[in-house]
Amino acid sequence: MTPAAPEGTFHAFMERARRTGTLVVQPRMGFGTAAQMRAGLIATKDAGPGTVGTVTLDSFTRVGDFASAGRALRAGDELNGYPIVTLGPQVTRDMLDGVRDADFPVQVRHGSASPGPIFAALMAAGLDATEGGPISYCLPYSRTPVNRSVHAWREVAQRFASLAETGTVPHLESFGGCMLGQLCPPSLLIAISVLEGMFFAQQGITSVSLSYAQQTHAGQDEEAVRALHDIAADLLPSVSWHVVIYAYMGRYPATRTGALSLLSASARLARRSGAARLIVKTASEASQIPSIAENVTALRVAARAGRASGPSLGAPPSTGIEAEARSIIGRVLDLHADLGRALTSAFALGYLDVPYCLHPDNAGRTRSYIADDGRLQWAATGALPITGTGGRPKAGGLTSAELLHALSYVRDRYDTGAFAHQ
């Protein structure tokens, strides 16, 4: 079992939430100045019990361009996130003072394949929770070779794990269940999330969360999240873990009604499937960076939808998602006892291969499509250790017109009210 954590840490907060069955809701909020960031965190805290604060970093910091972040700050230019490295640890400590406490932890979200300076900055500021992973922060966001990302994440995870020596239990969240946000069938999302969780554990991290992004079919998503729970229970027995759902990450509805309906559906998915935390999206996602007020509204809508829902009385019918995910994970684990080396080899061999991902280390032989019933299915599986396409054959994948339609599938249906019942 994970050792007890001091009050005020992310780990301790989530352990309490899990014991009480509270669905924790969290924004993806980030601002370019300490004053703005503090105001956003205070508003999040005031949105109601069961909220977690987020410090999302800016795009310059994510790619290590700290000079550009500094120039933007000096010029008074607006950044699209918080420049934690450039501002320095004391500014961040002051920003968090009186805001972060036992009932309101704060997590850093960034998007960096080479996050050494980011980890150094957040640890120096006294923060104990962040997210990412050697695969999930590499393929979508960079052209960094997978082996270099693995090396960088091995180093920071081991450094982060050393916080345990101070009595703090550091928490790492795998972003693996969100690969490219959409059109990645659930079994591969599950596999990458679990494998990254195991990678973190191998580096000494004892508190992790495993992500899953809401996709195109509510029943398929519920089956997938339940499978994620079952597999994690088997493969992470000595680690404290929970599942976090992300509200749909593809093209978001353009109408306020559609956007909030989709958000409510994600909260119901989290409750039905037993997830512990939900990352929300706002009604303005389709057109602009959300304001503080829009984030607060999203948090309250999601919390209300979660309270009005409850766990499913029975598991949805199995369509083989868990079996596929276990097959992929098993093949990767067979490659090497060291998870970092296994992950690198798995991409080289095509055992891990993300549809429509253009990263140089991704084989690019898998394809997916949305079936007539709305489920995400494999059109081509490449060298993935699974059999069949899960639906009607569709050799060659989607045409450009079909791909555009698939990317707009969820948005269009929520904007027209077709999914309001989910």
Look at residue 108 and give its three-state secondary structure: strand
Per-position DSSP letters for 209-250, written without gaps between them: EEEEE--S-HHHHHHHHHHHHHHHHHH-TTSEEEEEEE---S
For 35, the token pair is: 């004053």
What is the predicted pLDDT for the residue at 258? Answer: 94
Q: What 8-state DSSP symbol labels residue 113? A: S
Beta-carbon contacts of residue 104 (< 8 Å; ≥ 6 apart): 13, 41, 44, 45, 51, 52, 53
Asked if 279 and 288 touch (Cβ cutoff 8 Å), the reply is no
What is the predicted pLDDT for the residue at 419? Answer: 66
What is the predicted pLDDT for the residue at 391? Answer: 46
Q: Which CATH architecture has domain 10-308?
A: Alpha-Beta Barrel (3.20)
- Report how far residue 397's alpha carbon sits from residue 20's, in angstroms, rounded to the nearest whole number: 45
Beta-bridged to residue 107, according to DSSP, are 54
What is the predicted pLDDT for the residue at 5? Answer: 41
Q: Which long-range contacts does 84-89 make (Cβ < 8 Å, 24+ apart)?
A: 84/55, 84/57, 84/108, 84/118, 84/121, 84/122, 84/125, 85/61, 85/117, 85/118, 85/120, 85/121, 86/61, 87/34, 88/121, 89/121, 89/124, 89/125, 89/126
Asked if 133 and 177 touch (Cβ cutoff 8 Å), the reply is no
Beta-carbon contacts of residue 12 (< 8 Å; ≥ 6 apart): 4, 5, 6, 102, 105, 169
- Report how far residue 276's alpha carbon sits from residue 179's, in angstroms, rounded to the nearest whole number: 20
Q: Which of 229, 210, 415, 198 is nearest to 322 (CA)?
A: 229
β-pairing verdict for 277-279 and 240-246: parallel
pLDDT tens track of the chain, all 422 residues? Answer: 333 444 568 999 999 999 999 999 999 999 999 999 999 999 999 999 899 999 999 999 999 999 999 999 999 999 999 999 999 999 999 999 999 999 999 999 999 999 999 999 999 999 999 999 999 999 988 999 999 999 999 999 999 999 999 999 999 999 999 998 789 999 999 999 999 999 999 999 999 999 999 999 999 999 999 999 999 999 999 999 999 999 999 889 999 999 999 999 999 999 999 999 999 999 887 677 889 999 999 999 999 999 998 777 677 789 999 999 999 999 999 999 999 999 999 999 999 999 999 999 999 999 999 999 999 999 999 999 998 554 444 455 577 788 888 889 999 999 898 764 45
* Strands annotated E in 344-402: 366-370, 376-381
Q: Which of 235, 44, 205 is nearest to 129 (CA)?
A: 205
The predicted model scores a pTM of 0.94
Look at residue 96 and give its three-state secondary structure: helix
Number of C-alpha atoms within 13 angstroms, CB side, residue 156?
Answer: 26
